[in-house]
Amino acid sequence: MIFGIVSLILAAGGTAWFGAFQSSRLHQISDDEALRMRLVECRTRISSIEQQFEDEHLSVDKQAELQSKLRIECARFSEIGRSPDMPQGSEISQWLKRRKPLAAPLSRETLQLMVVDMDGMISSLGSKIADENELLTASLNYYLVFITLLLTVVVLAGGRFIISSYRRSIIPLHQLSQRLALLNCNLPESLHDTAEAAETLLSGEDPSAEMRSVSESVVSMCHDIEEKNRKLDELHIRDEKTNLYNYRHFKEHLIIDVERARRLKGDIALAMIDIDNFKRYNDRYGHVAGDRVLARIAEIIRQECRMTDIPSRFGGDEFAVLFPKTGRATALEISERLRSIIYAEPFEYESNQPGNQLTVSIGVASWLDDATDGTSLIMNADKALYKAKSSGKNMVLAFSTGEVSVEDEK
């Protein structure tokens, strides 16, 4: 009986420690993911500026404006590095400290090197987050083994007392211990099955106090682990502001779907969506109003997409929708529907926008027609997007045809 009491104390202490450890790891993963997204946003803006350098006929004023934007983006590195959440001495901290302020005008080649450098750091952060997730999964496995062993000790130590005092509890407790012994920590279904089995025992005829206590503990533990796993999964794949899929989840699906299309000779299309004149809106009405616009447009995109589509926040005010097993014509049709719904949607303060409307521009590219891999698919959809914006905004443009699918509504 003493062993059983000691085991319960150890189980309680181990549970408290594991809860604190898991919360700390989740917080660290959340911070790393937020930092990675900030770097992705900076990289997207610098890449956008770099693309504008392609124009050989840039005016002196436009070049000065681009250089000013670059200085602002580089200043963001220092701001991120000074964050109190930034661990001193870490790889990302050292990398940020090595970023120097712009001292002279930069060439397009230098900007390309900056983008490549940032891609490397973003990839490094992604690897760090993956390592943290593996550590969290391993600790979860060890915790379940620890709890299983302690519960087994409790059952064995109290077996004699249970047999003599609560004979009717022997068979149910034996069934529960067998279920725990077969628990597979790597399968969420096993947690669900174990919780259901414990709840069934509780609903049986006249369960003893000991049986009820152990069963309720198992049910609570399984439900708690399932909930933490669900939150962890959501943290990996969802963007916090828009609740769309995040950039990492988008890239993972892009790789998988492109490979499937290559193997099966199937179709795949991509739409890049950008809010027209959003910087002007944000600067005038503030980030709170801007965030409301982002959230509403994201909701429209999510509602209009099919179950198989992958609507994602690409970065900043730019969205991406991946259309697996979908040709260019269908992608253009869905994109036009999105554009027209957003055009008709009443947004706060939109009467002060150009044309008295808040609109989006969309660029579409498709597999095999316009691209041979995932990278070129993104690049060509992005080129179609910027062509749509430079041609008057509020339109859908396909990369391969070079023609506007939908004229700007006035």
Residue numbers annotated as active site? 317
Which region holds residue 219: left if phi is over 0, alpha if psi is between -120 and 50, else beta? alpha
Is 241 in a helix, a strand, or coil?
A: coil
CA-CA distance, 384 to 381, in Å (whole number)?
A: 5
Measured between alpha carbons, how far is 89 from 85 in angstroms, rounded to an integer?
12
Contact 274, 323 (CB under 8 A): no
Beta strand spans in 235-324 (E): 268-275, 310-315, 318-324
Nearest-5° angle of CA 108, CA 109, CA 110?
90
Q: Are 66 and 52 in contact (CB under 8 A)?
A: yes
Q: If DSSP codes are grouped into helix, strand and coil, which group holds residue 371? A: strand
To which H or E segment does residue 145 belong? helix 108-157
Q: Rounded to whole angstroms, how far apart are CA atoms 217 and 147?
A: 11
State how far the alpha carbon of 63 is from the alpha carbons of 13, 50, 102, 223, in Å: 63, 11, 14, 58
**Any bridge partners for residue 396, and if so which?**
362
Task: Quote the CA–CA distance of 248 and 239 in Å, as a whole number.
Answer: 10
Residue 11 to residue 268: CA distance in whole angstroms = 51
DSSP symbol at 396: E
Q: Which residue in the block uniquely carries the two structure tokens 């519960």?
A: 151
DSSP H or E segment with residue 360:
strand 360-366
d(CA 26, CA 233): 11
CB contact at 8 A, 268 and 325: yes
- Element containing residue 361 per DSSP (H, E): strand 360-366
Q: Which strands make up the sheet holding 396-398, listed edge to edge?
A: 310-315, 318-324, 268-275, 360-366, 396-398
